[in-house]
């Protein structure tokens, strides 16, 4: 395995996280810093994506590198029965870095075992989404001025949502208090509640998205109910509309609170929230570009500070 791979947020330390945030800040000021000259990056998306793929590709383009890849595996040889192992080994002949999204949990880890090229996990099933976590942390740090001692409310699909799983793990370094708001079917899995217990992280669970939860939060992290992960579509129909944030529910929320969402949203955030100054999800998506520029440079072992800080 290439040590520069990023498969799980748990692979990197507190210092790595803080360092990546600093670098994201740098790229926000210098988004067109051409330091990937001659580098080729593959984006292999076996699952649908808009922001993640486009922001990774924009990141490479703005840094002066080149991108190859696919956004629809049905047009590739995997539809002819090629194994993931063979696809990864073959692509490794062409590129310096692989960014991949796959519907199977553990797929990115497996990829690191069959190639020496660094691999960035852009989401593996319901498991992990570490680059999303870096942009979430960057967004939290920018809007709250700190990552420490915050009350973070996660709402919606806490069972299948990989973004909340990664974010929870990363925040263990920063003394968070979590509120998990979900129905019984989509509650935070035991594995992650055990992780909180093992790391001394405070959390409470709620089925009610109540004013007291909203008004004492520093961050409200809304999530989409992950329809594609349900074995039983009737169960999806039962739970899909349980939690919707509307503008009137924010009347007494803290002025400094921010609403985050990894996007895409379906109906868990009403359109009227978009006009509230605390709605931050579109800015959050923009931060993804800078966070991913930082992640790409780390994976390629490029020290951005050793280059001239020109545009
Ligand atoms: C998320 C994902 O793919 O896990 N999207 C994203 O990458 N921004 C969340 C989702 O699809 O609901």
Kindly give the distance from the C-alpha atom of residue 162 to the centroid of ligand 1, in angstroms, as a whole number: 8
Taking Cα atoms as reference points, which of 157, 184, 180 lies closest to residue 262? 157
Q: Is the pLDDT of residue 47 over 90?
A: yes
Q: Is 245 exposed, middle or buried (0-12, 13-18, 19+ CB in 10 A)?
A: buried
**pLDDT bracket for residue 75 (50, 70, 90):** confident
Helix, coil or strand: residue 297: helix
| Residue 157 and residue 225 in contact, taking contact as beta carbons nearer than 8 Å | yes
Is residue 189 scored above 90 in pLDDT?
A: yes
CA of 84 to the centre of ligand 1 (A): 22
Mean residue pLDDT of the chain comes to 96
Best probe residue, ligand 1, of 57, 126, 263 (max atoms within 8 Å of C-beta): 263
Global pTM? 0.97
CA neighbours within 13 Å on the CB side: how many for 247?
A: 7
Nearest to 22 by CA among 280, 290, 299: 290
Catalytic residue, candidates 129, 224, 240, 292? 129
Instruction: Starting at the earlier edge strand, list the strands of the sheet with 97-102.
Output: 66-70, 40-45, 97-102, 119-124
pLDDT tens sequence across 28-38:
999 999 999 99
Between strands 97-102 and 66-70, the pairing is unpaired
CA–CA distance, 243 with 241 (Å, rounded to integer): 6
pLDDT recorded at residue 307: 64
Per the CB < 8 A criterion, the answer to whether 36 and 61 are in contact is no
Residue 258 CA to ligand 1 centre (angstroms): 19
pLDDT at residue 310 above 60?
no
Angle at the Cα of 63 (from 28 to 108), degrees rounded to 5?
Answer: 95
Residue 151: phi and psi, rounded to 5, are -100, 115
Distance CA 60, CA 36 (A): 7
State how far the Cα of 290 lies from the Cα of 31, in Å rounded to an integer: 7
**Which one of the listed residues 30, 33, 51, 102 is annotated catalytic?**
51
51 given a catalytic annotation: yes
Give me the phi and psi of 41, to 5 degrees please: -120, 135
129 as an active site residue: the answer is: yes
Q: Which helix (H) or strand (E) holds 81?
A: none
| 52 tagged catalytic | yes
Cis check for the bond before 264: say yes or no (omega within 30 of 0).
Answer: yes
pLDDT at residue 268 tops 90: yes
Residue 1 binned pLDDT confidence (cut-offs 50, 70, 90) = confident
pLDDT at 306 over 80: no
Residue identifier of the C-alpha nearest atom 12 of ligand 1: 224
pLDDT of residue 308: 55
Angstrom distances, CA of residue 132 to CA of 64, 77, 157, 242, 260: 22, 28, 16, 24, 12
Which of the two residues, 216 and 1, has the higher pLDDT score? 216
- Residue 142's nearest CA partner among 260, 16, 49 is 260
d(CA 198, CA 32): 42
Share of the chain above pLDDT 70, in %: 98
Look at residue 309 and tell me whether its pLDDT is greater than 60: no
pLDDT in tens, 208-247: 999 999 999 999 999 999 999 999 999 999 999 999 999 9
pLDDT at 311 over 70: no
Q: Is the CB of 129 under 6 A from ligand 1?
A: yes
How does pLDDT run across 104-122, given as a tens digit for each residue?
Answer: 999 999 999 999 999 999 9
Phi, psi at 2, each rounded to 5°:
-75, 125
**Residues ≥6 apart with Cβ < 8 Å to 145:** none
Mutation probe of ligand 1 site: the residue of 123, 135, 136, 243 with most atoms within 8 A of C-beta: 123
* The pLDDT of residue 304: 85
Band of residue 295 on the pLDDT scale cut at 50, 70, 90: very high
Q: How far is the CA of 292 from the centre of ligand 1 (A)?
A: 15
Q: The tokens 């989404």 sit on which residue? A: 129
Q: Report the pLDDT averaged over residues 276-292.
A: 98
Q: Report pLDDT digits (tens) over 9-23.
A: 999 999 999 999 999
Half-sphere exposure (Cβ direction) of 226: Cα atoms closer than 13 Å:
23
DSSP reduced 3-state for 119: strand
Distance CA 213, CA 206 (A): 9
Atom of ligand 1 nearest to the CA of 285: 8
Average pLDDT over residues 99-108: 98
pLDDT tens digits, 169-186:
999 999 999 999 999 999
């Amino acid at each position: 395995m290439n040590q520069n791979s990023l498969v799980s947020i748990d692979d990197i330390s507190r210092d790595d996280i803080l360092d990546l945030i600093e670098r994201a800040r740098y790229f926000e000021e210098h988004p067109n810093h051409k330091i990937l000259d001659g580098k080729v990056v593959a984006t292999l998306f076996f699952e649908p994506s808009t922001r993640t793929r486009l922001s990774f590709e924009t990141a490479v383009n703005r840094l002066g590198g080149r991108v190859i890849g696919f956004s629809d595996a049905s047009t590739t040889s995997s539809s002819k029965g090629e194994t993931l192992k063979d696809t990864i080994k073959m692509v490794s002949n062409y590129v310096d870095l692989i960014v991949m999204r796959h519907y199977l949990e553990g797929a990115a880890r497996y990829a690191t075992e069959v190639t020496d090229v660094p691999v960035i996990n852009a989401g593996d099933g319901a498991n992990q989404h570490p680059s999303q976590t870096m942009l979430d942390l960057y967004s939290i740090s920018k809007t709250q001025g700190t990552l420490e001692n915050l009350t973070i409310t996660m709402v919606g699909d806490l069972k299948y949502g990989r973004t909340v799983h990664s974010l929870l793990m990363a925040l263990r370094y920063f003394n968070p208090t979590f509120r998990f708001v979900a129905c019984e079917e989509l509650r935070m899995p035991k594995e992650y509640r055990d992780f909180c217990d093992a790391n001394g992280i405070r959390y409470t669970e709620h089925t009610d998205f109540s004013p007291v939860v909203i008004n004492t939060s520093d961050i409200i992290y809304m999530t989409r109910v992950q329809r594609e992960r349900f074995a039983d579509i009737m169960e999806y129909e039962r739970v899909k509309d349980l939690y919707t944030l509307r503008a009137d529910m924010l009347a007494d929320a803290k002025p400094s609170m921010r609403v985050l969402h990894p996007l895409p949203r379906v109906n868990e955030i009403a359109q009227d929230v978009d006009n509230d100054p605390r709605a931050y999800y579109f800015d959050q998506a923009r931060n993804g570009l800078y966070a991913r520029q930082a992640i790409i440079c780390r994976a390629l072992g490029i020290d951005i500070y050793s280059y001239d800080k020109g545009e």
